[in-house]
Structures are given as C-alpha cells and as structure tokens.
Amino acid sequence: MCFVSVVLPWWTATTPTQLYNISIYLYRESWDARGDYFDSPNIWYCQYALILLIIAGLTALVGSIVSYRFRGILAVGGSLASASLVIFATGLQNSLSQSFPKSIGLFSNIQGITTYLTFGFWTALVATILMFAAIIRRPKSSTNSKASVTLTTP
C-alpha cells in the first residue's frame, strides 16, 4: 500500500468552476490555473516523505517475510511511514501559509477554493496502521497433524 500511495495525489485544491485545479503528488506537482499565475510552493518535504515512504514499504515487505521474532522491522517501517505523513502535512501547511495569503491550509474552503488531503495521504495512513497492526497480531500456530489419504481404485 505504501507503493500505491506514492503514485496517488496527496493534496488537492479545486474550485467549483474548475478554474483552479492544483494537485500535489510526492514526486511532482500539477498546477492547472486558467488565466492566473501561481508561484509554485517549495515542495522539499515531498522528496523527504517519498524517500521515507519507499523505505517504509521495503521494510514492511521484509518484516512480513521474516519470522515473528524479527517483527521489530515492521515497527521501523511503521515509524518511517508515520514520519513521512507528519513531514508531508507539516511541510505542506508551512508552505501554503507562506505562499498563499488567504489562509489556505490542509483542509479549507475559502472563497470557493476547496482544499483537502486526498487518496495518497489516506492510503499511506492505512498502510501505517496495518504495519503496526501486523506487529501485534501473532500468527496462528500450525499443528503438524498428518492426515492420511486413502486412494481407492474402482
């Protein structure tokens, strides 16, 4: 899920008439402002969040493969994923408050401009929760009872 969230938009700003449509991904930003020019905010935080989320995804893969004794790897992955969420949200809010004077934030509806965190952010949050849940959940012990199979010929 970490890898899926990387390709989805993390924050979007739209207007009802679609005059403005701004989406921020971790790897790029998409600005569609018809008739206006926007100064693109500095999105340094996206690169840090992207790196942390990719490392978190890799550690989640490794942590799900290794034995239960080494589930601490999942804790590292969950911590990295949650750090990427915090870095993105904090960096974006800081960048928006410096770039836009009209108090546009993570979640706002000001003068017809609606902004919100979108699919990529929430998918990464679910992936983080699943990593921490996988630490707590102990696999069921399998019993090695051998079942006998009898083949009969007609």
- pLDDT tens figures, 100-143: 666 777 888 877 788 889 999 999 999 999 988 888 876 665 55
Map out the domains of the chain as residue ranges.
2-136
Residue 130 or residue 153, greater confidence: 130
Between the alpha carbon of residue 31 and those of residues 10, 24, 34, 50, 112, the distances in Å are: 14, 8, 9, 20, 17
CATH class of 2-136: mainly alpha
Quote the pLDDT of residue 110. Answer: 78
- Nearest by Cα to 114 from 1, 4, 23, 9: 23
Quote the pLDDT of residue 2. Answer: 82
Q: What is the pTM assigned to this prediction?
A: 0.78
- pLDDT tens figures, 12-44: 888 777 677 778 888 877 666 654 545 556 778
For residue 7, the Cα-to-chain-centroid distance in whole angstroms is 9
Give strand pairing partners of 153. Answer: none
**Which residues, including other chains, have CB under 8 Å from residue 6's CB and lie 6 or more apart?**
26, 27, 50, 53, 54, 120
